[in-house]
């Protein structure tokens, strides 16, 4: 466990399972490259006595041969056993192997990785696994079975919400999220990478907190040079990651990409109705399933619209790499080297950085609340927008609204800048209109606290003193 960074809550779950007096069935899920396999291997180490990984696109015979190969290595046999005829037979062989092991005080771990690939259609895997667990595994107090999958929606629907023999059989569940900014900083420190918080933020805006992506970062490089090398160089490891990412997670990946592209084109988000209109998807179960799958995998988030029915919730793309790919990598394929360095400061760069910073703030609301000193206050986070067709009336929008039980509402405005942010006359008018329009349209009687979140803080001037009640800089996003 020495090389694990962060993941404190997840380690607590695994520790509790290892110390329990009962058999444990743990489901771990999260998007591709988020570090699920690494976490389980690092935490349990030599306690893993059998590890099988599904192969994407492999047929039943190939998966069973893979099982046989793993079993042969576990038995330390010079001869590989014959492949089992089906998964029922395979689990019988697994039981025989596990029962042959000498008794020890600590628990033994069976690790089945990429479960959705093992349990393909008509494979019979889930039926055999159900029988294995219910007839044998559940009675073994010295056993932990960890099942893991990148197709989060599949894991939730077919395992966590399973009917029949696997209903309520999972004893612990763990959705592994990307690293937070603080965990990313801790990871860099563990690798002796010293880039500071601003460049950590810039890297996060492009790559997100995906451990596999972060492992590609080298010491001694600036954020700009790193992004150029990883995303725009001819052999950059993340240059073609986008299509591989969605194809590995979803059948009919093009439908999911269609939704993601629609949201990337509208960074402030779209309602379900607007998404269906934009993508021409079916308004029935197809659209609902696509959105649920993307949300389970952490690519999009659904934010309530303040004061409106849940049907009017707004969907936003929050996967940093997907947004960066669609805004930059895809549009500059084949261009000369050093794309990112040369584009810094351009209008397109400023627009992207503003939206990307907003998305990160939305994902780190808990850190913002800690810095504001309201982590113990019951709150509801939402968005709000007022559109008007009248020429004599201005609309307004609040990207993050923290509605508090202590009769206050934080109206949060996020501004990315390379230095202290300056509120000029135009910005002041926008902030004043936002607050006054929100008060008038919603009719709220709560105290409105105009909160500005920036990178380097707010430069003192008359507009800031007049309008801004709370000012936070990027350090708030790293709060633990």
**163-195: pLDDT as tens digits:** 888 888 999 999 999 999 999 999 999 999 999
Q: What is the pLDDT of residue 105?
A: 87
Residue 334 has a pLDDT of: 66
Cβ 360 vs Cβ 204: under 8 Å: yes
Rounded Cα gap, residues 109 and 116, in angstroms = 19
Residue 460 placed within a domain: yes
- Is residue 3 in a domain? no
Output the furthest CA–CA distance in the chain (Å, rounded): 83
Q: Are residues 273 and 401 in the same domain?
A: no
Which domain, by its residues, includes 289?
A: 243-325
Residue 25 lies in a domain: yes
> Whole-model pTM?
0.92
Of 364, 81, 424, 4, nearest to 200 (Cα)? 364
First to last CA, the chain: 21
List the CATH number of the domain containing 405: 3.40.1350.10
Q: Where are the alpha helices (DSSP H) in 166-304?
A: 181-190, 196-207, 211-214, 223-227, 241-249, 253-265, 272-279, 285-296
Strands, sheet with 470-472, edge to edge from the N-terminal-most edge strand: 379-386, 396-404, 408-415, 447-454, 470-472
pLDDT for 391 equals 67
Under 8 Å between Cβ of 415 and 453: yes
Cα four-point dihedral sign 413, 419, 422, 427:
negative
Res 285 pLDDT > 90:
no
Whether residue 404 sits in one domain with residue 352: no
Q: What interhelical angle do 196-207 and 181-190 show, nearest 10?
A: 110
The token duo for 95 is: 């039981």
| Residue 2 domain flag | no
Mean pLDDT of the chain: 93
- Give yes or no: residues 352 and 410 share one domain: no
| Domain final residue pick, 175, 204, 231 | 175
Residue where a domain terminates, one of 175, 200, 228: 175
The pLDDT, as a whole number, for residue 339 is 85
The structure tokens 């907190």 sit at 209
Q: Is 128 a domain residue?
A: yes
**Which CATH number covers residue 261?**
1.10.10.10
Q: Give the pLDDT confidence score for residue 193 in this predicted structure.
A: 95
Interval 348-402: pLDDT, tens: 999 999 999 999 999 999 999 999 999 999 999 999 999 877 766 788 999 999 9
pLDDT digits (tens, 9 = 90+) for 108-138: 999 999 999 999 989 999 999 999 999 999 9
Cα 309 from chain centre = 26
**Does the pLDDT value for residue 2 go beyond 60?**
no
Band (442; pLDDT cuts 50, 70, 90): very high
The per-residue DSSP string of 346-364 comes to SHHHHHHHHHHHHHHHHHT
CATH number at residue 157: 3.40.50.300
Overall domain count for the chain: 4
Bigger pLDDT: 78 or 190? 190
The answer to whether position 58 is within a domain reads yes
């Amino acid at each position: 466990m020495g090389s694990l960074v962060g993941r404190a809550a997840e380690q607590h779950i695994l520790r509790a399972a290892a110390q329990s007096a009962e058999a444990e069935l743990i489901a771990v899920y999260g998007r591709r490259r988020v570090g699920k396999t690494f976490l389980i291997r690092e935490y349990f180490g030599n306690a893993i006595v059998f590890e099988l990984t599904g192969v994407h696109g492999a047929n039943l015979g190939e998966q069973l041969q893979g099982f046989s190969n793993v079993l042969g290595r576990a038995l330390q046999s010079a001869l590989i056993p014959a492949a089992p005829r089906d998964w029922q037979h395979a689990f019988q062989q697994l039981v025989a192997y596990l029962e042959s092991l000498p008794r020890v005080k600590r628990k033994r771990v069976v690790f089945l990785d990429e479960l959705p690939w093992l349990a393909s259609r008509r494979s019979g895997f889930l039926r055999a696994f159900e029988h294995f667990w219910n007839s044998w595994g559940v009675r073994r107090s010295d056993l932990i079975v960890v099942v893991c999958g990148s197709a989060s929606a599949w894991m939730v629907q077919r395992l966590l919400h399973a009917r029949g023999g696997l209903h309520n059989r999972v004893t612990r569940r763990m959705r592994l999220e990307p690293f937070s900014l603080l965990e990313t900083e801790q990871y860099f420190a563990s690798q002796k990478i010293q880039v500071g918080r601003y460049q950590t933020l810039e890297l996060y805006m492009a790559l997100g907190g995906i451990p596999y992506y972060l492992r590609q970062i080298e010491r001694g490089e600036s954020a700009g040079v790193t992004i150029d090398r990883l995303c725009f160089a001819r052999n950059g490891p993340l240059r073609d990651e986008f299509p591989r990412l969605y194809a590995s997670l979803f059948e009919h990946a093009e439908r999911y990409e269609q939704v993601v592209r629609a949201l990337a084109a509208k960074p402030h988000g779209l309602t379900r109705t607007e998404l269906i209109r934009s993508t021409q998807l079916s308004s029935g179960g197809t659209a609902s399933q696509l959105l649920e799958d993307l949300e389970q995998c952490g690519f999009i988030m659904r934010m309530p619209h303040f004061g409106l029915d849940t049907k009017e919730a707004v969907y936003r793309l929050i996967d940093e790499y997907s947004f960066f790919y669609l805004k930059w990598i895809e549009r500059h394929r084949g261009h000369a080297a050093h794309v990112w360095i040369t584009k810094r400061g351009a209008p397109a760069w400023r627009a992207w950085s503003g939206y990307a910073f907003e998305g990160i703030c939305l994902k780190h609301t808990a850190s913002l609340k800690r810095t504001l000193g309201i982590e113990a206050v019951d709150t509801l986070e939402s968005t709000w927008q007022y559109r008007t067709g009248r020429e004599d009336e201005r609309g307004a929008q609040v990207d993050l609204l923290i509605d508090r039980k202590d009769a206050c509402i934080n109206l949060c405005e996020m501004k990315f800048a390379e230095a202290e942010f300056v509120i000029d006359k135009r910005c002041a008018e926008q902030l004043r209109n936002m607050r006054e329009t929100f008060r008038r349209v919603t009719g709220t009687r709560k105290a409105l606290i105009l909160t500005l979140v920036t990178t380097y803080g707010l430069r003192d001037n008359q507009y800031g003193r007049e309008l801004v009640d709370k000012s936070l800089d990027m350090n708030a996003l790293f709060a633990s």
